[in-house]
Structure 1
């Protein structure tokens, strides 16, 4: 689930996200159908990874 800046409705279709933001994303993981609840966002560009937003999904594997 992706909630674009200045929008209230989340996007949860990977192809729509790729069409709109593909040039700015390195990776989209399609985990299948998802809820409209916000998901966790993890920045993998840093070591250790930075948890940008904690939401649905276990972030424990990315925490030190």
Structure 2
């Protein structure tokens, strides 16, 4: 348990240091950076949603085929 806690503490500290460093060294303003981050997040979320819908459709089709015995 102690190893897990140490790892998590190190990961969190590393993420904080990396985030602060990136913010300090970035050439964009804070507003521009936030807008870019939101746009990237939305694009990633939409891609994940599309992949989920496609996988769900594929699995539902396979399930129906299994129920009817069609291969």
TM-score by length of 2: 0.21
Name the structure where helix makes up a greater proportion of residues.
2
TM-score by length of 1: 0.22
Name the structure where strand makes up a greater proportion of residues.
1
Bigger-Rg structure (1/2) = 2
